[in-house]
Amino acid sequence: MSSTLSGFEVLTRTLEWELFDHIDHPVPEGKSPSDVCFPWAPWVTVIGFLGGMISLCTAPYFSCAGSSLCFLDMVCIDQTDSELKERGVYGIGGWLSVSTELRILWSPPYFSRLWCVFELAAYRTANPEGHITFQPVFVENLVLTATCFGFMAQLIDLTERQFPTISGVRAVGITVDCIILVVLIWHLQRRWRQQRSALADLAAFDMDGVSCSDAFDRAFVTSAIEGWYGGLDGFTRYVRGPVREELLERFESLHLPFSFYNAMVLPFLGLYIDYALAMQMAEGHSTKEEVASHFFSKGLPRYFCLLICVKLSFDLAHRYAHRRQTTWVDLKATVAITMIFTVMNLTTQTLAPICYDAGLGASLATASVHGLAALLVYALPHLLRRRAGASEAEPEELPAAS
């Protein structure tokens, strides 16, 4: 919407962008680069970010797809009326047996709570075919933080373009970007390692090490354990064995939805849409082919490159977050991932002006190559998981009777 309104000049364009200082456009005779400026404003960047934040905050209140029924024990079981609470607790077994999925909203204290561990084990016992989804709550927080930092990086870029005569703005921007990147990857690695350690610690699970604040709840859980597992020892062995093994398998195959990665890099694409609209509205300065070349050589390739970089950063941080990794090794891994991110991004930005100078064909080619690379990075793991799941589901062929 903001791009449409900007295109029709409904939104006022208040900033000035020195076109020929930034896209290697030939300067008309008799004019210097500083003479050729035209008005523009980052409406797509700003409104796109604000709209995304509003959508994120309001999404839980709107159901856009089919059934969204969920049993959340703290909400669905009355916490104030003791009689209703007991009735709700006694009905948990029924909910576990008919639920198609158990979603674990993991945080560090999760496995220290008796109710959480019991519900997890009971779900697998009562519903052997049910699906368990391991979903750490820190991921959403990190995605939101990264999205905000991406917008901040664009604001720094805007400042540099609006005040090109101020020395040091570019250096400050690069420094801030690097610090943000290192901090995010460092935090991500520590969180993944914390989660891996919590799962590994289930090998030493002990009923004495879990807490339960309500006496009735502890008595109910203990009674259910006696009936389902034959005693506390049987429950402990079940948690240390099958439950732990399945959770470790879920952790190793953990993947984030594409919408998370897309949210983190969309601010960068919005800025190039603003540039394209400004170039389009600058009569006599740029042809349609030049506008398209600029967007396809610089905007889309950078968007696809950042998608790849963010995906690889998350996957590498997840893969190499070892349980007993030292701080020094952790720092080296963070620096290595940051370097991969930086080199890929700089390579794309170096190729951009070359492709722009070569014309629209070269610009479309580099955008296509980056798009295919992003598609491969995101689609290939999904296809491999589906193939692995299909092969596991196929029954083994019985030998022919002789």
At residue 374 the predicted structure's pLDDT band, cuts being 50, 70 and 90, is very high
Q: What is the pLDDT of residue 402?
A: 34
**pTM to 2 decimals?**
0.76
Cα separation, 254 vs 246, whole angstroms: 12
How many residues can be counted in the chain?
Answer: 402
Single-letter amino acid, residue 32: S
pLDDT for 396 beyond 50: no
Give the lowest-confidence range in 241-245, 254-258, 367-371, 382-386.
382-386
Q: Are 274 and 42 in contact (CB under 8 A)?
A: yes
Q: Which of 336, 334, 338, 315 is nearest to 326 (CA)?
A: 334
pLDDT in tens, 232-288: 899 999 999 988 888 888 777 777 888 888 888 888 888 888 888 877 777 666 788
pLDDT for 142 beyond 70: yes
Residue 268 vs residues 114, 161, 203: alpha-carbon distances, Å: 45, 15, 44
Q: What is the pLDDT of residue 312?
A: 87
Crossing angle (nearest 10°) for helices 215-229 and 114-126: 30
Angle at 296 between CA 293 and CA 301, to 5 degrees: 145
DSSP state of 254: -
Q: Average of pLDDT values for 11-30?
A: 56
Q: Average of pLDDT values for 140-168?
A: 77
pLDDT in tens, 187-239: 888 888 888 888 888 888 888 888 887 788 888 888 888 888 888 899 999 99
Q: Are 306 and 268 in contact (CB under 8 A)?
A: yes
Residues 6+ apart with CB under 8 A from 353: 23, 24, 297, 298
